[in-house]
């Protein structure tokens, strides 16, 4: 069960962040509305929020998930792979240390974004991406092993449609993995109960199990229907403005 989440209000320069998609500029009033609804949804799931002020030094800093990997055994601060985001870890450090006074860290030349890390029970999938390099993955695997977890590496660098590993997969508990079609044949997923997401709904693959609910982006009826068929009551959230900046549901919070 998660009890807490850390979120950061988007800054007025959110549209100056990094993006690889061409969906137009985010509308700031809608960004704030969607973020507020997201925060309310986390509270509906029973989480107590630590809400950080907007930080205009870092336009992408609302995507707090990239700054840390938090497990039941402790927190690991990351070293984000994009130069413009490297300072985000120092900025969020006090908020993480309020819960985890002692943290591990990914150190240069290792780089790692939290969006590339998918926890699946006692196993972690680590994505190699244009943000997370081999050295970052190696350091994380060692930290996780020290905590008693196993891990395996998935190279998503050839997949041009996703930024991070978790843009394409989500573990929702009970051995079930939501997976975009392009990644469904990945041999590391053998033995998992795969919930296939069609190409037309691939953005929906970044959903988030939070206690007994699953947060799902709006506009993906097949996936939402499948989750309902499995007994979940999905919390459907409009993510249009975050999608424009390569962001997804998981990126917007650190949950623990
Ligand atoms: N805009 C999110 C990222 O590129 O990290």
Domain boundaries, the chain: 4-240+247-255
Give nearest CA residue, ligand 1 atom 3: 18
pLDDT, mean of residues 42-59: 98
User: Measured in angstroms, how far is the CA atom of residue 246 from the centroid of ligand 1?
Assistant: 6
pLDDT at 127: 98
In this predicted model, what pLDDT tens digit does every residue of 66-125 receive, in sequence order?
999 999 999 999 999 999 999 999 999 999 999 999 999 999 999 999 999 999 999 999
User: Ligand 1: which of 60, 61, 129 to mutate, judged by most atoms within 8 Å of the beta carbon?
Assistant: 60
Instruction: Please report, in angstroms and rounded to a whole number, the separation of the first and last CA atoms in the chain.
Output: 8
Q: What percent of the chain has pLDDT over 90?
A: 100
User: Measured in angstroms, how far is the CA atom of residue 187 from the centroid of ligand 1?
Assistant: 28
In this predicted model, what pLDDT tens digit does every residue of 153-189 receive, in sequence order?
999 999 989 999 999 999 999 999 999 999 999 999 9
Asked whether 122 and 147 are in contact (CB, 8 A), the reply is no
Work out whether the CA dihedral 116, 118, 122, 126 comes out positive or negative: negative
User: Measured in angstroms, how far is the CA atom of residue 114 from the centroid of ligand 1?
Assistant: 11
Q: Is 84 in the pocket of ligand 1 (CB under 6 A)?
A: no
User: How many other C-beta atoms lie within 10 A of the C-beta of residue 234?
Assistant: 19
**Distance in angstroms (rounded) separating the CA atoms of residues 14 and 107:** 27
Q: Is 18 in the pocket of ligand 1 (CB under 6 A)?
A: yes
Please tell me whether the overall predicted TM-score, pTM, comes out greater than 0.95 for this model. Answer: yes
Taking CA atoms, 141 is separated from 110, 122, 223, in Å, by 12, 12, 31
**Distance in angstroms (rounded) separating the CA atoms of residues 93 and 152:** 27
Which CATH entry fits the domain spanning 4-240+247-255: 1.10.230.10, 3.30.365.10, 3.40.50.720, 3.75.10.10? Answer: 3.75.10.10
Give nearest CA residue, ligand 1 atom 1: 18
pLDDT at 180: 98
Q: What is the DSSP letter of 255?
A: E
User: Measured in angstroms, how far is the CA atom of residue 247 from the centroid of ligand 1?
Assistant: 6
What is the pLDDT of the chain when averaged over all its residues? 98
**Distance in angstroms (rounded) separating the CA atoms of residues 209 and 181:** 20
């Amino acid at each position: 069960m998660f009890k807490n989440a850390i979120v950061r209000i988007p800054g007025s320069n959110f549209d100056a962040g990094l993006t690889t998609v061409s969906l137009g500029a985010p509308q700031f009033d809608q960004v704030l509305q969607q973020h507020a609804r997201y925060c309310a949804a986390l509270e509906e799931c029973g989480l107590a929020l630590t809400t950080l002020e907007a930080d205009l030094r870092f336009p992408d800093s609302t995507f707090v998930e990239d700054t840390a990997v938090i497990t039941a055994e402790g927190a690991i601060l990351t070293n984000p792979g994009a130069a413009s985001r490297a300072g985000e870890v120092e900025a969020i450090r006090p908020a993480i240390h309020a819960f985890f006074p002692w943290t591990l860290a990914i150190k240069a030349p290792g780089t790692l974004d939290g969006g590339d890390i998918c926890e699946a029970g006692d196993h972690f999938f680590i994505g190699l991406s244009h943000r997370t390099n081999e050295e970052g993955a190696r350091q994380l695997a060692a930290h996780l092993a020290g905590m008693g977890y196993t891990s395996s590496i998935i190279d998503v660098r050839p997949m041009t449609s996703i930024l991070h590993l978790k843009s394409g997969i989500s573990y929702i508990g009970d051995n079930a993995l939501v997976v975009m079609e392009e990644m469904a044949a990945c041999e590391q997923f053998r033995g998992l109960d795969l919930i296939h997401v069609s190409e037309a709904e691939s953005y929906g693959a970044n959903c988030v199990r939070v206690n007994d609910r699953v947060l799902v982006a709006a506009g993906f009826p097949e996936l939402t229907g499948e989750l309902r068929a499995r007994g979940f009551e999905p919390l459907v959230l409009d993510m249009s403005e975050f999608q424009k900046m390569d962001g997804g549901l998981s990126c917007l919070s650190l949950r623990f």
